Amino acid sequence: MTDLTRQDVKHLMLFAGRSHPALAHEVAQILGCDIVPTRFETYANSEIYVRFEKSVRGCDAFVIQAHTGPVNDWLMEQLIMVDALKRASAKRITVVCPFYPYARQDKKHAGREPISARLVADLYAAAGATRIMSIDLHAAQIQGFFSGPVDHLYGLPLLADYVEDKYPLDDLVIVSPDAGRVKTTDMWSDRLGCPIAIIHKRRDPNVANTVNVHEVVGNVVGKTCLLVDDMIDTGGTICLAAEALRQEGAARVIGAATHPVLSGAAIERLQASVFEEVIVTNTLPLPPEKLIDKLTVLSIAPMLAEAIQAVFDEGSVAALLSEKHKAASQLFDAVSSSSP
């Protein structure tokens, strides 16, 4: 084999940070590869050290990290891993961040505020990343913050297939927990062919993370109501929305969201809520104490593995999606581009 031929041989290498080893190992198992052995150290002053224990020269590197709390630690760890790969002559570096960090800080609402989602994209680029892969970005414009390719995957088909298999669609209503998530509701309605309703609510400007639910717009009496969102953080909004639906006569209330942030008292709120079931994915790790009976966790690993394989094969990530996936993607792009 000539030197030129050796240079043309591609090899995929999978790297994983320490935040969500279960997801990384599941992706590796589906791909039929091993996670590259890596030495991690967190020094007494909280600085992070990383060293890969085998050569990465010329590889197609995929670096998986879940940005759960503490977000800054896991973001910094992933950036250090990317920098180490670049300095060790990896050919291409894709950061795989199922839940994009700082995604909710995607624009300025007032003067002297940062656009932190753009800063994160710049940090990835400066570290040496050539591509980003993520799931259900909080806002579509985040794709434009990175100058290289961004593979935007969608959790909706996975969640919707589960709902369709378990719940009758003839009395199902898709509900937006607030006006800001109507686009997500439209996507679900298009996918399942069900009517929609909207919770009209107002946040209390004097108290953080509290809302006052006002009214339900749409017919929910005697219906199974599916509250949908891209994430559940403290659980305040979605639990109050669920209570409003029951007060308006809903027969059953279920919830679905891609990202289970579940910070603060979220689990206690969900456990005490009127929800019959809340369906999420494993884009973020959940410790055993958060795996309550009401919570159903679906694995996003097959989707990530397919996308990683498609990128490595230099195929079309869009082509690997089923017609259902593509319909969700096209609708998301359409409603995002039409928004002010």
Please enumerate in sequence order all residues whose Cβ is within 8 A of that of 69, keeping only pairs 6 or more positions apart, or say none. 263
Band of residue 328 on the pLDDT scale cut at 50, 70, 90: very low
Q: How far apart are CA 315 and CA 177, in angstroms?
A: 37
Mean pLDDT throughout 83-92?
Answer: 98
The residues carrying an active-site annotation are 201
pLDDT at position 215 is 86
pLDDT at position 321 is 59
Mean pLDDT throughout 19-47?
Answer: 98
Q: What is the DSSP string of 225-239?
A: EEEEEEEESSSHHHH
With contact defined as beta carbons under 8 Å apart, do 279 and 249 qualify?
A: no
Please enumerate in sequence order all residues whose Cβ is within 8 A of that of 180, keeping only pairs 6 or more positions apart, or say none. none
The CATH number corresponding to 3-154+301-338 among 3.30.160.250, 3.40.50.2020, 3.40.50.12780, 3.40.640.10 equals: 3.40.50.2020
- Residue that has been written with the tokens 């994209």 in this structure: 121
pLDDT at position 295 is 98
**Burial (0-12, 13-18, 19+ Cβ within 10 Å), 271:** middle
pLDDT at position 147 is 95
Who has greater pLDDT, 91 or 9?
Answer: 91
CATH number of 156-298: 3.40.50.2020
pLDDT at position 77 is 98
326: pLDDT strictly greater than 90: no
Could you tell me the residue ranges of all domains in the chain? Answer: 3-154+301-338, 156-298
263: pLDDT strictly greater than 70: yes
Q: What percent of the chain has pLDDT over 90?
A: 81
pLDDT at position 211 is 54
Mean pLDDT throughout 228-257?
Answer: 95
The pTM assigned to this predicted structure is 0.89
Same topology, domains 3-154+301-338 and 156-298? Answer is yes
With contact defined as beta carbons under 8 Å apart, do 174 and 188 qualify?
A: yes
Please enumerate in sequence order all residues whose Cβ is within 8 A of that of 242, keeping only pairs 6 or more positions apart, or say none. 225, 227, 253, 255, 273, 274, 275
Band of residue 79 on the pLDDT scale cut at 50, 70, 90: very high
pLDDT at position 337 is 44
Helical ranges in 222-313 per DSSP H? 236-247, 266-272, 301-312
Q: How far apart are CA 289 and CA 23, in angstroms?
A: 18
pLDDT at position 9 is 77
Q: How far apart are CA 283 and CA 20, in angstroms?
A: 9
- Which residue in 250, 313, 291 sits closest to 92, CA to CA? 313
Mean pLDDT throughout 239-244?
Answer: 94
Residue-wise pLDDT tens digits, 149-193: 999 999 999 999 999 999 999 999 999 998 878 888 999 999 999
* H or E element in which residue 166 lies: helix 156-166
Q: 123-132, 206-215, 226-235: which range is least confident on average? A: 206-215
- Which residue in 169, 161, 134, 168 sits closest to 150, CA to CA? 134
Mean pLDDT throughout 74-100?
Answer: 98
Mean pLDDT throughout 272-300?
Answer: 98
Band of residue 213 on the pLDDT scale cut at 50, 70, 90: low
With contact defined as beta carbons under 8 Å apart, do 228 and 191 qualify?
A: no
Q: How far apart are CA 188 and CA 251, in angstroms?
A: 20
pLDDT at position 2 is 46
327: pLDDT strictly greater than 70: no
Q: How far apart are CA 15 and CA 62, in angstroms?
A: 6
Band of residue 110 on the pLDDT scale cut at 50, 70, 90: very high
Average of per-residue pLDDT values in the chain:
90
35 DSSP assignment: B
317: pLDDT strictly greater than 50: yes
pLDDT at position 324 is 43
